[in-house]
A and B are shown apart, each in its own frame.
Chain A
Amino acid sequence: MSTKNEIAQKIVALLKTLPKDRIKHYASFKDVQLERFQNKDLVAGISEKDLKLQYASLRDLVNDKYKNYYKLDDKLLVPKGNPNYYTRIMAEIRGEKKTSFLDAMKIVTFGK
Protein backbone atom coordinates (compact mmCIF):
# COMPACT_ATOMS: atom_id res chain seq x y z
CA MET A 1 0.00 0.00 0.00
CA SER A 2 2.81 2.37 0.87
CA THR A 3 4.43 1.83 -2.53
CA LYS A 4 1.10 2.59 -4.16
CA ASN A 5 0.75 5.76 -2.13
CA GLU A 6 4.27 6.74 -3.03
CA ILE A 7 3.63 6.27 -6.75
CA ALA A 8 0.36 8.20 -6.48
CA GLN A 9 2.22 11.02 -4.74
CA LYS A 10 4.81 11.07 -7.50
CA ILE A 11 2.06 11.21 -10.12
CA VAL A 12 0.50 14.13 -8.25
CA ALA A 13 3.90 15.88 -7.99
CA LEU A 14 4.43 15.37 -11.72
CA LEU A 15 0.96 16.67 -12.56
CA LYS A 16 1.51 19.74 -10.39
CA THR A 17 4.50 20.71 -12.53
CA LEU A 18 2.30 20.94 -15.63
CA PRO A 19 1.52 24.50 -16.71
CA LYS A 20 -2.04 25.76 -16.71
CA ASP A 21 -3.93 25.58 -20.01
CA ARG A 22 -3.27 28.62 -22.17
CA ILE A 23 -6.91 28.66 -23.24
CA LYS A 24 -9.77 27.82 -20.90
CA HIS A 25 -11.33 24.53 -22.03
CA TYR A 26 -14.39 22.68 -20.83
CA ALA A 27 -12.09 20.49 -18.73
CA SER A 28 -8.49 20.83 -17.63
CA PHE A 29 -6.38 17.68 -17.92
CA LYS A 30 -4.16 18.82 -15.06
CA ASP A 31 -6.97 19.63 -12.63
CA VAL A 32 -9.08 16.57 -13.42
CA GLN A 33 -6.15 14.16 -13.13
CA LEU A 34 -4.86 15.86 -9.95
CA GLU A 35 -8.25 15.33 -8.36
CA ARG A 36 -8.28 11.72 -9.52
CA PHE A 37 -4.88 10.73 -8.16
CA GLN A 38 -5.47 12.59 -4.89
CA ASN A 39 -8.60 10.53 -4.32
CA LYS A 40 -7.44 7.72 -2.00
CA ASP A 41 -10.43 5.48 -2.79
CA LEU A 42 -9.79 5.64 -6.53
CA VAL A 43 -6.07 4.97 -6.10
CA ALA A 44 -6.85 2.00 -3.82
CA GLY A 45 -8.85 0.42 -6.66
CA ILE A 46 -5.84 0.46 -9.01
CA SER A 47 -3.27 -2.33 -8.85
CA GLU A 48 0.36 -1.46 -8.19
CA LYS A 49 1.41 -2.58 -11.66
CA ASP A 50 -1.20 -0.39 -13.33
CA LEU A 51 -0.32 2.58 -11.16
CA LYS A 52 3.33 2.23 -12.20
CA LEU A 53 2.22 2.13 -15.82
CA GLN A 54 0.17 5.29 -15.30
CA TYR A 55 3.24 6.98 -13.88
CA ALA A 56 5.54 5.68 -16.63
CA SER A 57 3.16 6.90 -19.34
CA LEU A 58 2.72 10.31 -17.76
CA ARG A 59 6.48 10.62 -17.39
CA ASP A 60 6.98 9.76 -21.08
CA LEU A 61 4.43 12.38 -22.06
CA VAL A 62 6.01 15.06 -19.87
CA ASN A 63 9.48 14.20 -21.21
CA ASP A 64 8.35 14.63 -24.84
CA LYS A 65 9.39 11.07 -25.66
CA TYR A 66 7.37 10.91 -28.87
CA LYS A 67 8.11 14.44 -30.00
CA ASN A 68 11.81 13.64 -29.79
CA TYR A 69 11.52 10.15 -31.26
CA TYR A 70 9.37 11.14 -34.25
CA LYS A 71 11.15 14.40 -35.02
CA LEU A 72 9.44 16.61 -37.58
CA ASP A 73 11.32 19.15 -39.61
CA ASP A 74 10.43 22.59 -40.92
CA LYS A 75 8.64 21.05 -43.87
CA LEU A 76 5.61 20.50 -41.62
CA LEU A 77 6.33 22.99 -38.84
CA VAL A 78 6.90 25.96 -41.17
CA PRO A 79 4.57 24.94 -44.02
CA LYS A 80 5.59 26.48 -47.32
CA GLY A 81 1.96 27.02 -48.29
CA ASN A 82 1.39 29.26 -45.29
CA PRO A 83 4.65 29.88 -43.37
CA ASN A 84 3.07 32.13 -40.71
CA TYR A 85 0.21 29.76 -39.90
CA TYR A 86 1.58 28.32 -36.64
CA THR A 87 3.45 31.46 -35.48
CA ARG A 88 0.23 33.48 -35.80
CA ILE A 89 -1.79 30.90 -33.86
CA MET A 90 0.84 30.51 -31.14
CA ALA A 91 1.26 34.29 -30.76
CA GLU A 92 -2.49 34.59 -30.31
CA ILE A 93 -2.69 31.69 -27.83
CA ARG A 94 0.23 33.02 -25.78
CA GLY A 95 -1.30 36.47 -25.77
CA GLU A 96 1.73 38.04 -27.43
CA LYS A 97 -0.07 39.50 -30.41
CA LYS A 98 -3.69 39.78 -31.27
CA THR A 99 -4.77 39.55 -34.91
CA SER A 100 -6.23 42.87 -35.98
CA PHE A 101 -9.64 43.10 -37.61
CA LEU A 102 -8.10 43.90 -40.99
CA ASP A 103 -5.70 40.94 -40.78
CA ALA A 104 -8.57 38.68 -39.75
CA MET A 105 -10.62 39.78 -42.76
CA LYS A 106 -7.62 39.19 -45.01
CA ILE A 107 -7.22 35.65 -43.63
CA VAL A 108 -10.93 34.92 -44.04
CA THR A 109 -10.92 36.24 -47.62
CA PHE A 110 -7.63 34.92 -48.95
CA GLY A 111 -6.96 32.03 -46.57
CA LYS A 112 -3.64 33.34 -45.21
Chain B
Amino acid sequence: MLGRNVARYASGGHRNVRAISTSQILAFGARNSAILNRFKNEEIEAPSKLAQESSLPVIEQDLKTKPRHPSKKIPFLSDHKIENDPNYQMSGWKQSIGQWVIKTFSIDMDKSRAGPVAGSIYFGECKRQGLYYPNEPLSDTASFFYETLNLPKSFSQQYQIALLHYWILSVRMRAMPFKYGKNYQQKLIDRMFKDMELRMSQELKISSNRIIENYLKDYHTQLIGAVLSYDEGLMTDDITLASALWRNVFNGNPNVDMRHVEALLGYVRSQLYVLNKMSDREFGFGKFKFVPPDQVVQPLTKAQEADLKEKAKAEFAQHTLPSQTSSLSLDE
Protein backbone atom coordinates (compact mmCIF):
# COMPACT_ATOMS: atom_id res chain seq x y z
CA MET B 1 0.00 0.00 0.00
CA LEU B 2 2.81 2.31 0.98
CA GLY B 3 4.70 1.39 -2.19
CA ARG B 4 1.73 2.31 -4.37
CA ASN B 5 1.39 5.59 -2.58
CA VAL B 6 5.07 6.32 -2.96
CA ALA B 7 4.89 5.46 -6.67
CA ARG B 8 1.95 7.83 -7.11
CA TYR B 9 3.99 10.61 -5.56
CA ALA B 10 7.08 9.79 -7.55
CA SER B 11 5.11 10.11 -10.77
CA GLY B 12 3.51 13.33 -9.65
CA GLY B 13 0.16 11.58 -9.24
CA HIS B 14 -0.75 13.74 -6.26
CA ARG B 15 -1.48 16.53 -8.72
CA ASN B 16 -4.39 14.43 -9.99
CA VAL B 17 -5.63 14.05 -6.45
CA ARG B 18 -5.71 17.82 -6.08
CA ALA B 19 -7.59 18.18 -9.37
CA ILE B 20 -10.31 15.80 -8.19
CA SER B 21 -10.72 17.62 -4.93
CA THR B 22 -10.87 20.98 -6.72
CA SER B 23 -13.65 19.87 -9.02
CA GLN B 24 -15.65 18.66 -6.06
CA ILE B 25 -15.18 21.99 -4.40
CA LEU B 26 -16.36 23.83 -7.48
CA ALA B 27 -19.46 21.67 -7.83
CA PHE B 28 -20.28 22.14 -4.17
CA GLY B 29 -19.55 25.84 -4.38
CA ALA B 30 -21.88 26.31 -7.34
CA ARG B 31 -24.74 24.68 -5.51
CA ASN B 32 -24.10 26.38 -2.20
CA SER B 33 -22.77 29.72 -3.33
CA ALA B 34 -24.78 31.56 -0.71
CA ILE B 35 -23.23 29.43 2.02
CA LEU B 36 -19.67 29.75 0.86
CA ASN B 37 -19.54 33.26 -0.57
CA ARG B 38 -18.72 34.66 2.82
CA PHE B 39 -15.65 32.45 3.03
CA LYS B 40 -14.43 32.90 -0.52
CA ASN B 41 -12.50 35.96 0.45
CA GLU B 42 -8.95 35.51 -0.77
CA GLU B 43 -7.67 38.20 1.58
CA ILE B 44 -5.49 36.87 4.34
CA GLU B 45 -6.60 37.62 7.88
CA ALA B 46 -4.47 37.81 11.00
CA PRO B 47 -4.06 34.29 12.49
CA SER B 48 -5.67 35.18 15.80
CA LYS B 49 -8.67 36.81 14.09
CA LEU B 50 -9.07 33.83 11.78
CA ALA B 51 -8.98 31.40 14.69
CA GLN B 52 -11.56 33.40 16.66
CA GLU B 53 -14.15 33.21 13.87
CA SER B 54 -15.04 29.68 14.77
CA SER B 55 -16.97 28.76 17.90
CA LEU B 56 -16.70 25.01 17.67
CA PRO B 57 -17.63 23.39 21.01
CA VAL B 58 -14.44 22.54 22.88
CA ILE B 59 -14.12 18.83 23.61
CA GLU B 60 -11.33 18.45 26.15
CA GLN B 61 -8.64 16.09 24.94
CA ASP B 62 -7.65 13.34 27.34
CA LEU B 63 -3.84 13.54 27.43
CA LYS B 64 -3.71 10.76 30.06
CA THR B 65 -1.43 12.85 32.23
CA LYS B 66 -1.82 15.71 34.65
CA PRO B 67 0.64 18.46 33.78
CA ARG B 68 2.96 19.71 36.48
CA HIS B 69 2.99 23.50 36.70
CA PRO B 70 5.96 25.66 37.67
CA SER B 71 6.12 26.55 41.36
CA LYS B 72 8.98 29.01 40.97
CA LYS B 73 10.16 31.43 38.31
CA ILE B 74 13.77 31.55 37.17
CA PRO B 75 15.14 34.56 35.21
CA PHE B 76 13.95 34.65 31.59
CA LEU B 77 17.47 34.39 30.13
CA SER B 78 19.94 34.26 33.01
CA ASP B 79 20.89 36.30 36.02
CA HIS B 80 24.09 37.51 34.39
CA LYS B 81 24.10 41.31 34.08
CA ILE B 82 25.17 41.35 30.41
CA GLU B 83 22.29 39.13 29.32
CA ASN B 84 19.68 40.22 31.80
CA ASP B 85 19.98 44.00 31.64
CA PRO B 86 18.87 45.45 28.27
CA ASN B 87 20.55 48.78 29.11
CA TYR B 88 23.90 47.25 30.07
CA GLN B 89 26.85 49.21 28.69
CA MET B 90 30.37 47.82 28.85
CA SER B 91 32.87 50.38 30.15
CA GLY B 92 34.91 52.24 27.50
CA TRP B 93 38.30 50.74 28.33
CA LYS B 94 36.95 47.20 28.24
CA GLN B 95 35.42 47.90 24.83
CA SER B 96 38.72 49.29 23.53
CA ILE B 97 40.64 46.20 24.67
CA GLY B 98 38.01 43.95 23.08
CA GLN B 99 38.12 45.79 19.76
CA TRP B 100 41.94 45.68 19.80
CA VAL B 101 41.96 41.90 20.42
CA ILE B 102 39.46 41.29 17.61
CA LYS B 103 41.46 43.40 15.18
CA THR B 104 44.88 42.04 16.14
CA PHE B 105 43.93 38.36 16.04
CA SER B 106 41.48 38.76 13.10
CA ILE B 107 38.74 36.98 15.01
CA ASP B 108 35.88 35.68 12.85
CA MET B 109 33.05 37.71 14.37
CA ASP B 110 30.33 35.88 12.42
CA LYS B 111 31.34 32.74 14.27
CA SER B 112 31.57 34.49 17.65
CA ARG B 113 28.25 36.25 17.12
CA ALA B 114 26.37 32.92 16.97
CA GLY B 115 26.50 32.71 20.78
CA PRO B 116 24.92 36.06 21.69
CA VAL B 117 22.54 36.11 18.71
CA ALA B 118 21.30 32.52 18.30
CA GLY B 119 22.08 31.39 21.85
CA SER B 120 20.52 34.42 23.51
CA ILE B 121 18.37 36.69 21.29
CA TYR B 122 16.80 33.97 19.14
CA PHE B 123 16.61 31.58 22.06
CA GLY B 124 14.67 34.27 23.95
CA GLU B 125 12.37 34.72 20.96
CA CYS B 126 11.60 30.98 20.84
CA LYS B 127 11.10 30.71 24.60
CA ARG B 128 8.91 33.81 24.87
CA GLN B 129 6.23 32.59 22.45
CA GLY B 130 4.75 29.83 24.59
CA LEU B 131 5.88 30.90 28.05
CA TYR B 132 3.32 30.90 30.83
CA TYR B 133 3.36 31.00 34.61
CA PRO B 134 0.32 30.26 36.79
CA ASN B 135 -1.47 33.42 38.02
CA GLU B 136 0.41 35.65 35.60
CA PRO B 137 -1.10 37.37 32.55
CA LEU B 138 -0.20 35.75 29.23
CA SER B 139 1.76 37.55 26.54
CA ASP B 140 -0.06 38.21 23.23
CA THR B 141 1.50 35.21 21.51
CA ALA B 142 1.01 32.93 24.50
CA SER B 143 -2.65 33.95 24.70
CA PHE B 144 -2.98 33.06 20.99
CA PHE B 145 -1.68 29.56 21.70
CA TYR B 146 -3.37 28.85 25.03
CA GLU B 147 -6.60 30.85 24.84
CA THR B 148 -7.39 31.23 21.14
CA LEU B 149 -6.13 27.82 20.00
CA ASN B 150 -7.12 26.18 23.33
CA LEU B 151 -3.86 24.30 23.71
CA PRO B 152 -3.25 22.73 27.13
CA LYS B 153 -0.93 24.63 29.46
CA SER B 154 1.93 22.28 30.13
CA PHE B 155 5.71 22.14 29.97
CA SER B 156 5.63 19.79 26.98
CA GLN B 157 3.28 22.12 25.15
CA GLN B 158 5.65 25.03 25.77
CA TYR B 159 8.41 22.88 24.34
CA GLN B 160 6.38 22.07 21.22
CA ILE B 161 5.70 25.78 20.66
CA ALA B 162 9.38 26.65 21.17
CA LEU B 163 10.33 23.77 18.87
CA LEU B 164 8.06 25.08 16.13
CA HIS B 165 9.74 28.48 16.39
CA TYR B 166 13.16 26.82 16.46
CA TRP B 167 12.31 25.04 13.22
CA ILE B 168 11.16 28.29 11.59
CA LEU B 169 14.49 29.89 12.48
CA SER B 170 16.50 26.84 11.48
CA VAL B 171 14.98 26.95 7.98
CA ARG B 172 16.56 30.39 7.65
CA MET B 173 19.81 29.32 9.29
CA ARG B 174 20.26 26.55 6.72
CA ALA B 175 20.27 29.23 4.03
CA MET B 176 23.28 30.94 5.60
CA PRO B 177 26.83 29.90 4.62
CA PHE B 178 27.21 26.37 5.99
CA LYS B 179 29.77 26.92 8.76
CA TYR B 180 27.83 29.87 10.18
CA GLY B 181 24.33 28.44 9.77
CA LYS B 182 25.30 25.18 11.45
CA ASN B 183 26.87 27.10 14.32
CA TYR B 184 23.76 29.23 14.81
CA GLN B 185 21.53 26.14 14.85
CA GLN B 186 23.80 24.38 17.35
CA LYS B 187 23.95 27.37 19.70
CA LEU B 188 20.19 27.80 19.64
CA ILE B 189 19.28 24.18 20.30
CA ASP B 190 21.98 23.74 22.97
CA ARG B 191 20.63 26.73 24.85
CA MET B 192 17.04 25.49 24.56
CA PHE B 193 17.91 22.12 26.07
CA LYS B 194 20.09 23.67 28.78
CA ASP B 195 17.19 25.94 29.70
CA MET B 196 14.73 23.03 29.81
CA GLU B 197 17.05 21.12 32.09
CA LEU B 198 17.25 24.09 34.46
CA ARG B 199 13.52 24.72 34.40
CA MET B 200 12.63 21.10 35.05
CA SER B 201 14.88 21.09 38.06
CA GLN B 202 14.23 24.59 39.47
CA GLU B 203 10.71 25.47 38.31
CA LEU B 204 9.01 22.08 38.10
CA LYS B 205 11.02 20.77 41.07
CA ILE B 206 11.92 17.43 39.54
CA SER B 207 14.65 16.30 41.90
CA SER B 208 15.93 13.24 40.05
CA ASN B 209 18.54 13.92 37.40
CA ARG B 210 17.84 10.54 35.85
CA ILE B 211 14.19 11.48 35.27
CA ILE B 212 15.20 14.87 33.83
CA GLU B 213 17.67 13.15 31.51
CA ASN B 214 14.99 10.73 30.32
CA TYR B 215 12.63 13.62 29.60
CA LEU B 216 15.38 15.38 27.66
CA LYS B 217 15.96 12.25 25.58
CA ASP B 218 12.21 12.10 24.86
CA TYR B 219 12.21 15.76 23.85
CA HIS B 220 15.19 15.15 21.60
CA THR B 221 13.35 12.31 19.86
CA GLN B 222 10.36 14.63 19.41
CA LEU B 223 12.69 17.26 17.96
CA ILE B 224 14.00 14.89 15.29
CA GLY B 225 10.51 13.70 14.33
CA ALA B 226 8.97 17.17 14.31
CA VAL B 227 11.77 18.73 12.25
CA LEU B 228 11.50 15.94 9.66
CA SER B 229 7.70 16.34 9.44
CA TYR B 230 7.89 20.11 9.17
CA ASP B 231 10.61 19.84 6.51
CA GLU B 232 8.41 17.44 4.56
CA GLY B 233 5.50 19.88 4.85
CA LEU B 234 7.65 22.78 3.72
CA MET B 235 8.71 20.92 0.57
CA THR B 236 5.29 19.48 -0.30
CA ASP B 237 2.00 21.23 0.41
CA ASP B 238 -0.07 23.03 3.00
CA ILE B 239 -2.07 19.98 4.07
CA THR B 240 1.11 17.99 4.83
CA LEU B 241 2.49 20.87 6.91
CA ALA B 242 -0.91 21.26 8.58
CA SER B 243 -0.92 17.53 9.44
CA ALA B 244 2.55 17.91 10.97
CA LEU B 245 1.32 20.88 13.04
CA TRP B 246 -1.75 18.90 14.07
CA ARG B 247 0.36 15.95 15.28
CA ASN B 248 2.96 18.03 17.10
CA VAL B 249 1.40 21.27 18.30
CA PHE B 250 -2.24 20.13 18.56
CA ASN B 251 -1.21 16.77 20.08
CA GLY B 252 -3.16 14.89 17.40
CA ASN B 253 -6.42 16.15 18.91
CA PRO B 254 -9.22 14.35 17.00
CA ASN B 255 -11.69 17.18 17.69
CA VAL B 256 -9.40 19.98 16.59
CA ASP B 257 -10.92 23.08 15.04
CA MET B 258 -9.75 23.24 11.40
CA ARG B 259 -9.91 27.02 11.64
CA HIS B 260 -7.24 26.84 14.34
CA VAL B 261 -5.01 24.57 12.25
CA GLU B 262 -5.39 26.94 9.31
CA ALA B 263 -4.58 29.95 11.52
CA LEU B 264 -1.40 28.32 12.81
CA LEU B 265 -0.36 27.29 9.32
CA GLY B 266 -0.85 30.87 8.12
CA TYR B 267 1.20 32.06 11.10
CA VAL B 268 4.08 29.70 10.25
CA ARG B 269 4.05 30.47 6.53
CA SER B 270 4.01 34.23 7.19
CA GLN B 271 7.08 33.97 9.47
CA LEU B 272 8.92 31.98 6.81
CA TYR B 273 8.00 34.63 4.25
CA VAL B 274 9.48 37.39 6.39
CA LEU B 275 12.65 35.34 6.89
CA ASN B 276 12.84 34.70 3.16
CA LYS B 277 12.93 38.44 2.54
CA MET B 278 15.60 39.08 5.14
CA SER B 279 19.29 39.18 4.21
CA ASP B 280 21.88 36.93 5.87
CA ARG B 281 23.52 39.93 7.51
CA GLU B 282 20.32 41.25 9.11
CA PHE B 283 19.34 37.78 10.29
CA GLY B 284 22.85 37.05 11.53
CA PHE B 285 22.82 40.24 13.62
CA GLY B 286 19.60 39.16 15.38
CA LYS B 287 17.27 41.64 13.67
CA PHE B 288 14.44 39.16 13.23
CA LYS B 289 11.42 39.19 15.54
CA PHE B 290 8.46 36.85 15.17
CA VAL B 291 5.41 38.67 13.80
CA PRO B 292 2.68 38.61 16.50
CA PRO B 293 -0.36 36.49 15.55
CA ASP B 294 -2.70 39.49 15.65
CA GLN B 295 -0.86 41.10 12.74
CA VAL B 296 -1.07 40.31 9.04
CA VAL B 297 2.00 39.85 6.84
CA GLN B 298 1.36 41.31 3.39
CA PRO B 299 3.60 40.18 0.52
CA LEU B 300 6.13 42.86 -0.46
CA THR B 301 6.22 44.59 -3.80
CA LYS B 302 9.53 44.81 -5.70
CA ALA B 303 9.80 48.50 -4.81
CA GLN B 304 9.27 47.80 -1.11
CA GLU B 305 11.88 45.06 -1.20
CA ALA B 306 14.42 47.37 -2.86
CA ASP B 307 13.62 50.08 -0.32
CA LEU B 308 14.16 47.71 2.62
CA LYS B 309 17.43 46.51 1.12
CA GLU B 310 18.63 50.10 0.75
CA LYS B 311 17.75 50.88 4.36
CA ALA B 312 19.58 47.76 5.59
CA LYS B 313 22.66 48.69 3.57
CA ALA B 314 22.61 52.22 4.95
CA GLU B 315 22.30 50.89 8.49
CA PHE B 316 25.15 48.41 8.15
CA ALA B 317 27.39 50.96 6.43
CA GLN B 318 27.60 52.67 9.83
CA HIS B 319 28.91 49.49 11.46
CA THR B 320 32.63 50.10 11.23
CA LEU B 321 34.02 48.71 14.49
CA PRO B 322 36.13 45.51 14.35
CA SER B 323 33.45 43.70 16.38
CA GLN B 324 30.82 44.65 13.78
CA THR B 325 32.65 43.17 10.80
CA SER B 326 30.82 40.46 8.91
CA SER B 327 31.19 38.47 5.72
CA LEU B 328 27.46 37.67 5.61
CA SER B 329 25.63 38.86 2.52
CA LEU B 330 23.45 41.96 2.52
CA ASP B 331 21.87 41.05 -0.82
CA GLU B 332 20.47 37.62 -0.08
Contact = CB atoms under 8 A, between A and B. Distances in A.
A69 B276 contact: no
Contact of B231 (A21, A53, A80, A86): A86
A57 B9 contact: no
A76 B21 CA distance: 29
B56 A46 contact: yes
B79 interface: no
B177 A22 contact: no
A50 B55 contact: yes
Interface in B209-263: 228-229, 231-232, 234-239, 242-243, 246-247, 252, 254-255, 257-259, 261-262
Nearest to B13: A19
B175 A75 contact: yes
B235 A90 contact: yes
Interface stretch (B103-111, B128-136, B154-162, B265-273): B265-273
B242 A61 contact: yes
B140 interface: no
Interface residues on B, range: 35 or more
A66 B247 contact: no
Interface residues on A, range: 35 or more
B57 interface: yes
B238 A70 contact: no
A35 B299 CA distance: 37
Contact of A27 (B176, B234, B252, B275): B252
Determine the main DSSP class of A at the interface with B: helix
A29 B243 CA distance: 6
Contact of A63 (B22, B39, B235): B22
A69 B254 contact: no
A21 B243 contact: yes
Across the A-B interface, the 3 shortest Cβ-Cβ residue pairs: A56-B39, A70-B273, A29-B243
Interface of A: 3, 6-7, 10, 13-14, 17-27, 29-30, 32-33, 35-36, 42, 45-47, 49-50, 52-54, 56-67, 69-73, 75-77, 79-82, 85-86, 89-90, 93-96, 111-112
17 contacts: A3-B35, A19-B5, A19-B8, A19-B17, A22-B5, A42-B255, A53-B258, A54-B56, A65-B42, A66-B266, A70-B273, A72-B272, A76-B276, A81-B182, A82-B178, A95-B3, A112-B178
